[in-house]
């Protein structure tokens, strides 16, 4: 089980880094994901050996992004966290990226139409690449929507 845990933590850490987050962001998310019960800040600090401030800051980011949520534990005043079920938070990220790519594509198409022949050749290559990114993003978005049920 430790090997599985290690692989999942590395996976979440690598994904976090790809998206511009720090290593702790991925480790914290993986720790909550792997837990069989909601965790409080102290549980995460103890598990990962990182500062309470770092944990708190990353929990706020994870919650704001919709990856985790606070849960209430009867008789305890601490905040506890668990992962949000489903893929809606991932879909939201992909949708935002799709909109950015789509806007850039629209802007480049407009510039392309108004350009001279020399510029059109250069813009055409870039536009083709961005259209491909748009198509892939749309497919990923549709896949995530279908996985939600």
User: 11 and 30 in contact (C-beta within 8 Å)?
Assistant: yes
Sign of CA dihedral 19, 55, 77, 36: positive
Q: How do the domains of the chain map onto residue ranges?
A: 2-83, 88-147
Fold of 88-147: Helix Hairpins (1.10.287)
What would the pLDDT profile of 28-54 be if each residue is shown by its tens digit? 999 999 999 999 999 999 999 999 999
111 vs 137: CA distance, rounded Å: 23
CATH 1.10.10.10 fits 2-83, yes or no: yes
What would the pLDDT profile of 77-120 be if each residue is shown by its tens digit? 999 999 988 766 777 778 888 889 899 999 989 988 988 888 88
């Amino acid at each position: 089980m430790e090997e599985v845990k290690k692989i999942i933590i590395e996976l979440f850490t690598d994904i976090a880094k790809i998206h511009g987050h720090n290593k702790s962001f991925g480790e914290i998310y993986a720790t909550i994901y792997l837990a069989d019960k909601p965790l409080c800040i102290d549980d995460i600090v103890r598990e990962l050996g990182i500062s309470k401030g770092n944990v708190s800051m990353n929990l706020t980011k994870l919650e704001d992004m919709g990856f985790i949520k606070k849960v209430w534990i009867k008789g305890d005043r601490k905040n506890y966290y668990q992962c949000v079920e489903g893929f809606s938070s991932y879909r939201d990220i992909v949708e935002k990226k799709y909109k950015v790519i789509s806007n850039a594509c629209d802007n480049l198409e407009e510039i392309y139409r108004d350009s001279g022949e020399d510029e059109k050749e250069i813009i055409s290559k870039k536009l083709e690449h961005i259209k491909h990114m748009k198509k892939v993003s749309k497919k990923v978005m549709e896949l995530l929507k279908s996985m939600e049920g």
